Amino acid sequence: MIEIINRQKRRRIDRAGLLRLLRRLTRLYGVRRPGLTLVLAGDDAIRRLNRTFRGKDKPTDVLSFPVMEPTPEGDFHMGDIIISVPRAEKQAGGLGHSLGHEIEYLAAHGFLHLLGFEHFHGHETEEARLAAVLWPKGA
| Whole-structure pTM value | 0.85
The C-alpha angle 8, 63, 71, rounded to 5 degrees, equals 95
Percent of the chain with pLDDT over 90: 63
44-60 confidence digits (pLDDT tens) = 999 999 999 999 999 99
